Amino acid sequence: MKKENVNLTAQEKMFVEKRAKLAQSWPIVGSMIFIVILVFAGWLWLSNPYLINPWAVFAEINSGSIPHSTLTLMAAILPVVMITCLFILIIGLVFSFVAFSNERKHIAIIRRLNAHQGGLKEGMTEKKV
């Protein structure tokens, strides 16, 4: 296989550096988003249990304290819907972590291929993934 030199233009180098900064900051940003989701779920559990706690809803239905205007089916399904939404958010967050991890690997490969030009900074993705 013939070895080719990789020559990046200044614009491509800027793009790689911009993406490297984004990929480098993702673990912190993603972790903060994850914590916000968990805090939101905890807040819902404590302040609005009908939105997330199916056992509280079923207990209220059995005790008869939910107004008749509230449909029983909606009251039982609402926590399941909220948990499903939170689960979808968490899955999206996990996929984002995987995507940014792959991007860091690709940027490291680009930098190694372009190392002979000396145009890219090396401090951005020192963490081996």
Instruction: Please write the tens of the pLDDT for every residue from 13-67.
Output: 888 888 888 888 988 998 999 999 999 999 999 998 878 888 888 888 788 887 7
Does residue 58 sit in helix, strand or coil?
Answer: helix
- Residue-level pLDDT at 3: 58
Residue 126 in this model has a pLDDT that exceeds 50: no
pTM greater than 0.75 (yes/no): no
What does the pLDDT look like over 72-82, one tens digit per residue? 777 778 889 98
